[in-house]
Amino acid sequence: MKSALEMHPNQSYIIHSIIDSPLQVNFLEIGILVGKRIKLLHQAPFSGSIAFEVGNNMVFMRISEAGLIQVIPEVAEQELELQELKSIKSNHPLQPS
């Protein structure tokens, strides 16, 4: 898990969590929700605004706000799900050992 500031451009990530802050409601209302796909699109020079694609929406914010978003790579998310699935299967009582 890493902050949205560490994302690679044009690589898909999934929003894992949003660090608690007074901006929590603002994130929710604009549609930045846990579980949504997020991509880094543009950054203004000298640590300026950052634009993201969240779901099929584009939003932008300052680095102080972006730092509150915690993400995991989409691929990792899929792997995680796969692993979970495997572990469920392997622990299944009907699973042949």
Cα–Cα distance measured from residue 91 to residue 53, given in angstroms and rounded to the nearest whole number: 38
Burial 52-82 (b: 16+ CB within 10 A, else e): bbbeeeebebeeebbbbbbbbbeeebeeeee
In angstroms, give the least distance from the CB of 70 to other proteins: 16
Which of the residues 31 through 90 are near other proteins (CB under 8 A)?
31, 33, 41-49, 51, 53, 55-62, 64-65
Residue 17, interface with other proteins (CB under 8 A)?
Answer: no
* Binding footprint of other proteins on the chain (CB under 8 A): 22-31, 33, 41-49, 51, 53, 55-62, 64-65
